[in-house]
């Protein structure tokens, strides 16, 4: 079974731009969660999607948004990028009813 | 809200046993998780506790006391490859898979 895949793996943007990151969960997993990882703040939950609906939301500004498609693939979007948005963005998929979240390799976003 | 504390760094010797503690204060509780993360890699699942007691899984064990808001991860027969960050995470009592992570404990295993 293929693992969680994320594209792109690396991205460089400038302040004020917007970015879209993609995550393909493990086949059969309908829950996709997104996390931001930075050296200062650690791993922080952004949001979770299940069956195309946002099920949980973390404490991030409205510039951060996401969606999920009928095939469970998910995208997250960050608009009006700030320097502080530079981070590793991880997505994780879960088979509903199970407890283990499988993480993808992440997208390393650098904002200049 | 959630508050999760764990030591920032620990050092241990190859072949030894190490215990990484995690304390939490949460508004709801529906499970505690331990993840391992090697530098430059994604976190990988180690263990899950929702009831009090010890869960053993090979060289790794995890303990939970809900009344004390306390958990620990025990690593036995340490190997050099165990050098990594170990993160505890709490799932609240809302539906879904939202995890709140502690800051992580960087474990260095020395020969």
The tokens describing A85, both together, are: 């948005």
CB pair distance less than 8 Å for B96 and A105 = no
**B31 contacts on A by Cβ (under 8 Å):** 99
pLDDT above 90 as % of chain B: 85
Taking only the tens place, the pLDDT of each residue in B92-105 is: 877 788 999 999 99
| B93 and A CB contact within 8 Å | no
Of A33, A92, A99, nearest to B48 by CB-CB distance is: A99
B85-to-A82, B15, B51, B65, B109 alpha-carbon distances in Å = 28, 18, 25, 22, 11
Asked if B101 and A42 come within 8 Å (Cβ–Cβ), the reply is yes
C-alpha distances in angstroms, B56 versus A83, A89, B46, B71, B103?
Answer: 43, 31, 10, 13, 24
Can you give the pLDDT at residue B26?
Answer: 85
Q: What is the pLDDT of residues A8-18, one digit of tens each?
A: 999 999 999 99
C-alpha to C-alpha distance for A64 and A7, rounded to whole angstroms: 17
What are B46-82's pLDDT values in tens digits?
A: 999 999 999 999 999 999 999 999 999 999 999 999 9
- The residue to which tokens 């991205």 are assigned: A11
Judged by CB atoms within 8 Å, which residues 34-73 of B form the interface with A? 41-45, 48
Strand A42-50 and strand A53-57: the pairing is antiparallel
């Amino acid at each position: 079974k293929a693992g969680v895949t994320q594209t792109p793996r690396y991205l460089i943007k400038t302040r004020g731009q917007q970015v879209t990151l993609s995550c393909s969960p493990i086949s059969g997993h309908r829950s996709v969660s997104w996390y931001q990882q930075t050296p200062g703040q650690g791993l922080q939950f952004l949001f979770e999607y299940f069956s195309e609906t946002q099920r949980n939301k973390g404490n991030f500004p409205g510039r951060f948004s996401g969606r999920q498609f009928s095939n469970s693939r998910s995208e997250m979007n960050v608009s009006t990028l700030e320097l502080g948005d530079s981070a590793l963005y991880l997505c994780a998929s879960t088979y509903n009813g199970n407890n283990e979240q499988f993480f993808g390799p992440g997208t390393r976003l650098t904002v200049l | 809200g959630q508050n999760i504390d764990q030591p920032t760094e620990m050092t241990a010797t190859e072949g030894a046993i190490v215990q990484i503690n995690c304390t939490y204060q949460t508004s709801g509780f529906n499970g505690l998780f331990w993840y391992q993360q090697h530098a430059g890699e994604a976190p990988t699942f180690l263990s899950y506790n929702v009831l009090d007691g010890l869960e053993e899984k090979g060289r790794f064990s995890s303990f939970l006391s809900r009344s004390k808001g306390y958990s620990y991860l025990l690593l036995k027969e340490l190997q050099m490859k165990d050098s990594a960050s170990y993160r505890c995470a709490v799932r609240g009592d809302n539906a879904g898979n939202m995890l709140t992570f502690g800051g992580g404990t960087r474990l260095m295993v020395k020969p």
